[in-house]
């Protein structure tokens, strides 16, 4: 199969052997796959993740930076076949998505960050049949590719345990931040303040359910908010993932505040413990969706309760993945570029 | 008055002007004051605290390392007088302790870390009359000096929200760790595992209510615990406060674990956010007692529910403070050395 691979910190299109499903695995032809900032982060910071995973016994321990692996963990595709002896829960020809997890003995691999489980930037994938989620017929491929990042935002929103006395601040309105906004809006109760440098992202946050959207260079997100009668935020969702954010947020938060760390920063963060202690802060680290979040994300998109259409940008072929990953963020970029490996290469 | 002062990172005994109480302030003659590891930490790491407090607007912002201040925030003393126009809630001659906080306009100073509010390592102190806690008559001075550090441990224990399904690990059995053990034991429900390198501290932890006490060099605190039927800890209390602990704990904790950071580390801690994210950890930063914790600590000591007598070591005069602060921890040291400024200097 053809695939865009990460190898030695760069992206190349390669011809790879077709993956062969084992028992319990579905072979899937990729229809659409979103490019995530963590794919870009991995190009530069992946060695930290691999080293730490080796020390701690995590799912990235088996990655070898010098060997190619196929990224892409936000995917939808069509079931082609199963390994011999499988349960075959979804019929061939139907479309599926999944949490990007593949069980391997007692451990598990992350689809898109593994040499054995190629991600959606290749023509073919292997998925764990027990985690397959069948995609409803009317749902366009590219919308279905957004189920996974939306589910991540829904998980983050949920882990913050928003309550009726909270004022939530969502920092960073990429796909995850917008998913947090949408998740908080679904939960209903909380005034939602979204913050992003870019006007187009603030606009999307308002569409997703934020009550106000601010440019943090113009309005202090931690000060009294005139549009909320002078109330201040106390529940902060971090969805940026650049080094230094954690300590900056700690210094800005109010006493007894809660922080949900969603941004996947792969560099070490210098943290002053006593700064967080003086304010009795609580930090909930949020890591990604669970099956309940995937379910809710799929239903919310399919039933029109969350509209992800405005998040979609270009649809590209494998030959454009390298350039797209190099330009994921910045002014004027769309929330999600999707890859369709069936397109002509360029 | 005579006082042991911190100045330019060293301790000197000095003759200082007697403090003069203003309205709302009690003038108190110190009877006993505990020496805390944070006094020792401040000698080496204080500049970080001061810098950060200036940036964040905290209570240490006004400290000037080159000018003397009198440490000591675990104190008991006798009320001598009040500033003119005060409420005078406790009669002169009675003994009091207090949270080490002095209101100053809209801000507040920390008693023992302020040029205006000398701590208990001096003959005289000023206390905020609204925070005075009268000490019951039968309670010895040195036991009363332990109300504050015990209250800190009780606060940490409380902030971890121990529940019936938790297994708690208390790392470090100094005064704060022992207070956490005692607080968890008061709460009743949780198996308590104490860990310390030193056998005498483990012995104290068992006396304070720990169910098992381990040397972490011999028994992995995070592994299945044979004395608890193979259960593993999921609620960790950090009371050590040395750089590197936070990341080491994160790497050892189980999925969905909760960590209460009590150790007052003044150096920056390198933290890998994604390591905590992969396990969905929750970190509650615990900073110190509130009045409810002081109340509970005093009642628990006075009523014999928590026995702090075994924590007490030497009682020294002001002339021995420098040497005592230099030797607060290590094998064979007592949990608390107390200073009585009324003793002969040496």
**B284 in reach of chain A (CB within 8 A):** yes
pLDDT tier, B185 (very low <50, low <70, confident <90, very high otherwise): very high
SS3 A266: coil
Best mutation site among B58, B106, B285, B288 for testing chain A: the one with the most A CBs within 10 Å?
Answer: B285
Show residues of chain A in contact with B251, CB under 8 Å.
52, 55-56
Sign of CA dihedral B139, B142, B143, B146: positive
Q: What is the pLDDT of residue B57?
A: 76
Contact B273 A285 (CB under 8 A): yes
pLDDT per residue over B209-239, tens digit each?
A: 999 999 999 999 999 999 899 999 999 999 9
Token pair 């350039």 in the structure block, residue: A323
**CA A161 distance to own-chain centroid:** 20
Integer angstrom CA distances of residue A279 from A183, B264, B267: 27, 13, 17
Q: What is the pLDDT of residue B275?
A: 87
**Across residues B265-271, what is the average pLDDT?**
80
Task: Name the β-bridge partners of A76.
Answer: A32
Instruction: Kindly report the average pLDDT of chain B as a whole number.
Output: 93
Instruction: Kindly report the average pLDDT of chain A as a whole number.
Output: 93
Q: Which of B46-50, B143-147, B160-164 has the lowest mean pLDDT?
A: B46-50
- Residues 56-85 on B with a CB inside 8 Å of A are 56, 58-59
**Across residues A55-70, what is the average pLDDT?**
87
Q: pLDDT: is A88 or B52 the higher one?
A: A88
pLDDT tier, B41 (very low <50, low <70, confident <90, very high otherwise): confident
**B280 in reach of chain A (CB within 8 A):** yes
| pLDDT over threshold 70, residue A51 | yes
Contact A52 B251 (CB under 8 A): yes
Token pair 């193979």 in the structure block, residue: B230
pLDDT per residue over A297-333, tens digit each?
A: 999 999 999 999 999 999 999 999 999 999 887 777 8
Total residues belonging to chain B: 346
Contact A122, A341 (CB under 8 A): yes
| pLDDT over threshold 90, residue B319 | yes
Show residues of chain A in contact with B284, CB under 8 Å.
280, 282
pLDDT tier, B266 (very low <50, low <70, confident <90, very high otherwise): confident
Q: pLDDT: is A55 or A10 the higher one?
A: A10
Shortest alpha-carbon distance between residue A45 and chain B (Å): 11
Extended strands (E) in A149-293:
168-171, 192-195, 212-214, 235-238, 258-261, 269-271, 282-285
Contact A286 B280 (CB under 8 A): yes
**CA A222 distance to own-chain centroid:** 26
**Across residues A263-277, what is the average pLDDT?**
83
Contact A336, A313 (CB under 8 A): yes
pLDDT tier, A189 (very low <50, low <70, confident <90, very high otherwise): confident
Selection from A136, A151, A133, A122 nearest residue A96 by Cα: A133
Show residues of chain A in contact with B283, CB under 8 Å.
276, 282-283, 285
Shortest alpha-carbon distance between residue B270 and chain A (Å): 5
Contact A273 B286 (CB under 8 A): no
Contact B251 A278 (CB under 8 A): no
Task: Name the β-bridge partners of B10.
Answer: B7
Domains defined along chain B, listed by start: 2-146+308-339 (3.90.180.10), 152-285 (3.40.50.720)
**Across residues B162-170, what is the average pLDDT?**
96
**Across residues A231-237, what is the average pLDDT?**
97
Q: Which of A168-172, B14-18, B276-280 has the lowest mean pLDDT?
A: B276-280
Nearest Cβ partner for B266 among A59, A274, A280: A274
Contact B280 A285 (CB under 8 A): yes
pLDDT per residue over B58-73, tens digit each?
A: 788 889 989 999 999 9
Show residues of chain A in contact with B269, CB under 8 Å.
270-273
Question: What span, in angstroms and rounded, lies between the C-alpha atoms of A202 and A196?
Answer: 6
Nearest Cβ partner for A287 among B261, B270, B277: B277
pLDDT tier, A346 (very low <50, low <70, confident <90, very high otherwise): low
SS3 B51: helix
Q: What is the pLDDT of residue B76?
A: 98
Q: What is the pLDDT of residue B272?
A: 85
Contact B274 A266 (CB under 8 A): yes
**B292 in reach of chain A (CB within 8 A):** no
pLDDT tier, A96 (very low <50, low <70, confident <90, very high otherwise): very high
Show residues of chain B in contact with A268, CB under 8 Å.
270-272
* ipTM of the complex as predicted: 0.90
**A86 in reach of chain B (CB within 8 A):** no
Residues 6+ apart with CB under 8 A from A246: A238, A261, A265, A269, A271, B271, B273
Integer angstrom CA distances of residue B198 from A58, A130, B176, B230: 32, 49, 15, 24
Residues 6+ apart with CB under 8 A from B195: B169, B170, B171, B172, B173, B213, B214, B215, B216, B221
**A24 in reach of chain B (CB within 8 A):** no
φ, ψ of residue A281 to 5 degrees: the values are: -75, 155
Q: What is the pLDDT of residue B346?
A: 58
Contact B55 A251 (CB under 8 A): yes
Q: CB count, 10 Å around CB of B23?
A: 11
**B107 in reach of chain A (CB within 8 A):** no
Integer angstrom CA distances of residue A138 from A32, A142, A301: 15, 12, 11
Question: What span, in angstroms and rounded, lies between the C-alpha atoms of B202 and B180?
Answer: 13
Of all residues in chain B, the one with the smallest CA distance to A56 is B251
**B243 in reach of chain A (CB within 8 A):** no
Q: What is the pLDDT of residue A257?
A: 97
Q: What is the pLDDT of residue A5?
A: 96
Token couple for B202: 């483990």
Question: What span, in angstroms and rounded, lies between the C-alpha atoms of B338 and B141?
Answer: 10
Shortest alpha-carbon distance between residue B346 and chain A (Å): 34
Q: What is the pLDDT of residue B163?
A: 94
Show residues of chain A in contact with B286, CB under 8 Å.
277, 280
**A277 in reach of chain B (CB within 8 A):** yes
Contact B221, B193 (CB under 8 A): yes
Nearest Cβ partner for A272 among B52, B273, B288: B52
Show residues of chain B in contact with A59, CB under 8 Å.
278
pLDDT tier, A266 (very low <50, low <70, confident <90, very high otherwise): confident
Question: What span, in angstroms and rounded, lies between the C-alpha atoms of A201 and B169?
Answer: 44
Contact A280 B261 (CB under 8 A): no
Q: Which of A22-26, A288-292, B1-5 has the lowest mean pLDDT?
A: A288-292
Of all residues in chain A, the one with the smallest CA distance to B269 is A271
Q: What is the pLDDT of residue B59?
A: 82
Show residues of chain A in contact with B266, CB under 8 Å.
272, 274
**B152 in reach of chain A (CB within 8 A):** no
pLDDT per residue over B108-139, tens digit each?
A: 899 999 999 999 999 999 999 999 999 999 99
| pLDDT over threshold 90, residue A58 | no
Token couple for A111: 């689809």
pLDDT tier, A287 (very low <50, low <70, confident <90, very high otherwise): confident
Q: What is the pLDDT of residue A265?
A: 75
**Across residues A140-161, what is the average pLDDT?**
97
Show residues of chain B in contact with A56, CB under 8 Å.
251, 275, 278
Residues 6+ apart with CB under 8 A from A51: none
Selection from A287, A256, A306 nearest residue A38 by Cα: A287
Of all residues in chain A, the one with the smallest CA distance to B275 is A52
**A55 in reach of chain B (CB within 8 A):** yes
Shortest alpha-carbon distance between residue B241 and chain A (Å): 9
**A265 in reach of chain B (CB within 8 A):** yes
Contact B269 A272 (CB under 8 A): yes
Contact A246 B273 (CB under 8 A): yes
**A163 in reach of chain B (CB within 8 A):** no
């Amino acid at each position: 199969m053809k695939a865009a691979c990460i190898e030695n910190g760069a992206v190349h299109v390669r011809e790879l052997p077709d993956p062969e499903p084992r028992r319990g695995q579905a072979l899937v032809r990729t229809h659409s796959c979103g490019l995530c900032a963590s794919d870009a982060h991995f190009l530069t910071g992946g060695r930290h993740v691999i080293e730490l995973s080796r020390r701690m016994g995590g799912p990235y321990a088996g990655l070898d930076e010098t060997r190619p692996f196929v990224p892409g963990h936000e995917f939808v595709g069509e079931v082609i076949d199963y390994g011999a002896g499988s349960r075959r829960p979804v019929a061939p020809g139907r479309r599926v998505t999944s949490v990007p997890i593949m069980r391997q003995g007692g451990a598990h691999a992350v689809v898109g960050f593994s040499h054995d489980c190629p991600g959606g930037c290749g023509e073919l994938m292997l998925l764990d049949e027990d985690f397959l989620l069948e995609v409803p017929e009317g749902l366009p491929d590219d919308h279905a590719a957004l189920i996974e990042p939306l589910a991540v935002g829904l998980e983050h929103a949920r882990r913050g345990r928003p309550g009726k006395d909270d004022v939530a601040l969502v920092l960073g309105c990429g796909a995850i931040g917008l998913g947090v906004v949408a998740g908080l809006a679904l939960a209903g109760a909380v005034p939602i303040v979204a913050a992003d440098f870019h006007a187009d992202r603030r606009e999307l946050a308002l569409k997703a359910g934020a009550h106000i959207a601010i440019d943090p260079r113009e309005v202090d997100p931690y000060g009294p908010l005139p549009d909320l009668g002078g109330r201040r935020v106390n529940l902060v969702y971090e969805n940026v993932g650049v080094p230094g954010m954690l300590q900056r947020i700690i210094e800005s938060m109010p006493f007894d505040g809660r922080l949900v760390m969603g941004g996947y920063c792969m560099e070490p963060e210098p943290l002053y413990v006593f700064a967080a202690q003086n304010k009795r802060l609580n930090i909930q680290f949020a890591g990604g969706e669970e099956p309940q979040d995937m379910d809710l994300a799929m239903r919310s998109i399919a039933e029109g309760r969350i509209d992800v259409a405005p998040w979609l940008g270009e649809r590209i072929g494998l030959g454009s993945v390298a350039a797209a990953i190099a330009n994921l963020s910045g002014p004027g970029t769309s929330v999600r570029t999707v890859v369709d490996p069936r397109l002509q290469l360029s």
